[in-house]
Amino acid sequence: MGKNNWMVKVLADMKQDYARLETAPTHTVCQSETIMLPMPDGCRLYTVVHRPTGPGPFPTILMRSCYPDQEAMLRLNGEEYSRRGFAFVYQMCRGTGLSEGKWQPNVNERADGKACVDWLAEQDWTRSIGFWGNSYLALTGWVIADILPDKVKTLYLTHYGTDRFISAYQCGLFRQDVLTSWAMSNAGFPVSTDYQTSLRYRPQIEVDEDLWGGRLNWYRDWITNTNRQDIYWNEGFWQLLKEIPAKTKVPIYLGEGWYDHHLGSALEGWATLSEESKKHSVLRIGAWNHFFQPCTAGAPTNHLDNSDIQQAFAWFKRILCQEQKPEGCVLTYQINADRWLKQDSYPFDERKPMNFYLDASRRHANASTLSLESAEQTAVATYVFDPENPVPSHGAEAMLATTQAIGSLLQLPCGYREDVLSFVSDPLEKPFSILGKIQVVLYVASTADDTAFAMKLMEVKEDGTAYNIRTGITTLAYRQNSRQNRQPYEPGTVVEAIIDCWDICWQLSAGSRLRLDITSSDFPQYAIHSNFTGIWSLQTETQTARQAIYTGGDTPSRLILPVN
């Protein structure tokens, strides 16, 4: 679908959502004003004000965006809110659209956002303020959440987290489809290079100047700081952002999707949110992608309730108009059950771990076995990983550009590639639910001095169709968890490698089977490992590696599920 056609559809869907609101328009004539709002350093930012007719004061919504090609959506929001008695203000970030200054992602948003919200609070037509933002627009809200004027009563923030490292890396592997694609689209100059060519370019550190047409120091920072302990993530802007939730006082609506690439970071931010804020804040996680689109192909979604416009309007009406503070809670959509569950807190209450053990000694129909008991004897399964022929991502939670691969999707049958090992359980005797973090513990060896191991967990239904639940990946350099520093590996040595997954809420059906695939790549969800040690973005070549998965005996490789 072309960009123009896409925008036409988006606007039509938005209008339908507004038409479904319980609050009907009360004003037929509204005012619109464009201002070049000066910042403290003299730079002027393009700012548009929509207001109902009359003197006010009005409850007011603020959005700040770096995406000028989406201004039609901002304008429509302004028109619809002002027709319902709100003032609505949106501003383009420094160096984007008609705003003056140089575009540098992230770094100017705190000062500029503070100046904008302070100006808005001083206007005599402003009664109270709610901040609304999704994705980067949510960042512009988070980054001022601890320095708000008193008129700001709440923030409605979706699909963004405050721990940037989690959004960028998983055990040394870069979430490439998210951040490389974003860098290409927001470089500050046109980038026309083929996307796949850019992803595969080595060394990645030089892709900006060699292929894109200009140096992006901020992208280079992202792709070279692979340790959580690196100074880059623990000083300056990213450290500031990480600390803000604990200092926030107003109620926050934190919206997320099980298949949104910011989920892990957002959950970390929620966990550190101050008790004062959390008391009246809501965390709500649904079965959709970054664009609020349903993406669970094998599950019913009759009660998904994924309209962000309707959720946001109800939130702002309650707090800004009715002056009511909501009761804090966590709402999670349960996939397959097609229902919403309510919890008091996150992290979720302790769940009973349920182990399924990999057994490479027993094979049937292109798959080995997953069993509730570990085999007494050690067995090994092997495959060759060639970085030049990676396993394509299909069914993933941390992707942005390759939208057709996002979500829970119908999977290929076992044996579809020689470098993918499948382990399948017997039919489940009774239904049970998963809520929390899935983990896979593998005992592995490799001929390389560093490499990757990836997993994909699926539910295989009684008719034989398989749909992915969660994916995950680790490397030998970060084989215990992503919070550690890089550690060495001696080729041929059997070691324990842990693959952690993001949280999920999933109902498994009686009669279904579990299927766990193990391989060494998941591209472009993650950058392809070269099978050489060192920082991924500095690698200039690749090599093949023979991988071994050990099961049973003293090497009880296993899947661990958090179940009720």
- The structure tokens listed for 521 are 């790549």
Place of tokens 């009511």: 324
φ and ψ at residue 537, rounded to 5 degrees: -75, -10
pLDDT at site 381: 98
pLDDT at site 1: 59
Q: Evaluate whether 242 touches 162 at the Cβ level (below 8 Å).
A: yes
Distance CA(151)–CA(459), nearest Å, equals 49
Judge whether residue 309 has pLDDT over 80: yes
- The structure tokens listed for 436 are 């929390």
Q: What is the pLDDT of residues 223-240, one digit of tens each?
A: 999 999 999 999 999 999
Distance CA(188)–CA(446), nearest Å, equals 42
Q: Which helix (H) or strand (E) holds 219?
A: helix 217-224
Angle separating helix axes 217-224 and 176-185, nearest 10 degrees: 170
Q: Can you count the helices (H) and strands (E) in the chain?
A: 14, 23
- The structure tokens listed for 165 are 């490292």
3 state DSSP class of 393: coil
Q: What is the pLDDT of residues 456-486, one digit of tens each?
A: 999 999 999 999 999 999 999 999 876 778 8
Whole-number average pLDDT of the chain:
96
- The structure tokens listed for 82 are 């002002």
Mean pLDDT on 502-521: 98
Angle separating helix axes 308-316 and 3-19, nearest 10 degrees: 50
Judge whether residue 98 has pLDDT over 70: yes
Judge whether residue 360 has pLDDT over 80: yes
Q: How far is CA 257 from the centre of its chain?
A: 8
Angle separating helix axes 3-19 and 71-82, nearest 10 degrees: 20
Mean pLDDT on 173-187: 98
Domains in the chain, ordered, with CATH?
3-158+244-294+300-334 (3.40.50.1820), 352-563 (2.60.120.260)
Distance CA(23)–CA(1), nearest Å, equals 33
Whether the ω angle into residue 562 lies within 30 degrees of 0, i.e. cis, is no
Whether the ω angle into residue 427 lies within 30 degrees of 0, i.e. cis, is no
Q: What is the pLDDT of residues 150-167, one digit of tens each?
A: 999 999 999 999 999 999
pTM: 0.96
Please work out, in degrees rounded to the nearest 5, the angle formed at the alpha carbon of residue 552 by the alpha carbons of 551 and 556.
75
Distance CA(256)–CA(134), nearest Å, equals 10
